[in-house]
Amino acid sequence: MASSSPSSSFSLVITLLLVPFLFSSIAFSYSFKDIQSWCNQTPYPQPCEFYLTNHAFNKPIKSKSDFLKVSLQLALDRAERGQLNTHSIGPKCRNTREKSAWTDCIELYTYTIQRLNKTLDSYTKCTQTDTQTWVSTALTNLETCIAGFYELGVSDYILPLMSNNVTKLLSNALSLNKDSNHQMETPSSQEGFPTWVKPGDRKLLQSSSAASKANVVVAKDGSGKYTTVKAAVDAAPKSSSGRYVIYVKSGVYNEQVEVKSSNIMLVGDGIGKTIITGSKSVGGGSTTFNSATVGKHLSNFNFISYITKSMMVY
């Protein structure tokens, strides 16, 4: 019996290795008729049809729930591509206003991708309400990115280079999630606070002596550990199992504060006594997103920061 040549044996091995992958890649291919049928249920069927036709997802679509997952994955894929494109056009910014709006967009794309990854994470117990909240946040982030260019009057050059259909794909996902067969949960409250606010936090917020439980004190006259709110916030631990309370004594603090740590609580001496005020504005070349007097950047929705009613922020 003649033995097979090495080349034919090699070809056979390659074929055997490739066959499973070939079958797996076409197992969940979608016909154009099916794509049209599903996409026509969304507010923006054209980008839905285009991207589903040109992208292979190894996920079957047998129900609206399946279609929602595929739509979310599609939005995530396009958002990641949008972020890469936005990064690449940074050197093309012609002035500080374009650069300011562009910088916001880089940050906002990061938050959008984080929210979508969280929604699609199989280990996350994501309810329909969670999905609606997180995808709405993702959409708002990108709308805020776009708004920044218009606010600063520089929408003619960089913004068109960033054009994509991510916001439409996110709108499609929101529509599919809202129209699912499950009833949206009604937010509940306890003692005047949402139920997700822990009992210890409720007591702290209701306490008339929250300042006495402060971790650090801010005072303009030097009687505290810090003289500025920004210094106290910047020195706070990045994460804490309990609430980290910063007591801000009476005075006018003219500064911009960006809270990047989690579980921060700011407490003052009362409205009209403790005042934090900033000077950033659209007129001064900052976008609305980047001009908040006290801004909180969240990388995880399980973390909360509080500014109590005992101070004024404007």
Query: Could you tell me which of 132, 153, 126, 163 has the C-alpha nearest to residue 287?
Result: 153
Q: Is residue 86 part of a domain?
A: yes
Range of the domain at 63: 19-178
In a domain, 187, yes or no: no
Question: Would you say residue 88 has pLDDT above 70?
Answer: yes
Query: What amino acid occupies position 111?
Result: Y
- Identify whether residues 165 and 65 lie together within a single domain: yes
Domain containing residue 159: CATH number: 1.20.140.40
Give the end of a domain, one of 134, 150, 178. 178
**CATH number reported for the structural domain that contains residue 225 in this entry:** 2.160.20.10
Q: Please give the model's pTM, rounded to 2 decimal places.
A: 0.66
Q: Say how far residue 260 (Cα) sits from the centre of its chain.
A: 14
Per-residue model confidence (pLDDT) at position 260:
77
Claim to verify: residue 157 and residue 274 sit in the same structural domain = no
For residue 21, the surrounding DSSP H or E stretch is: helix 6-27
* 214 lies in some domain: yes
Q: Is residue 39 part of a domain?
A: yes
pLDDT single digits (tens) 130-141: 899 899 999 999
Task: Determine whether 245 is exposed, middle or buried from the number of CB atoms within 10 Å of its CB (0-12, 13-18, 19+).
Answer: buried
**Residue 156 and residue 203 in one domain:** no
305: confidence class by pLDDT, cuts 50, 70, 90? very low
Evaluate if residue 283 carries a pLDDT over 90: no
Give residues with Cβ within 8 angstroms of 158, minimum separation 6. Answer: 89, 92, 93, 98, 101, 102, 149
Average pLDDT of the residues in 246-264? 83
Q: Where among 121, 150, 178 does a domain terminate?
A: 178
User: How many structural domains comprise the chain?
Assistant: 2
3-class SS at 128?
Answer: helix
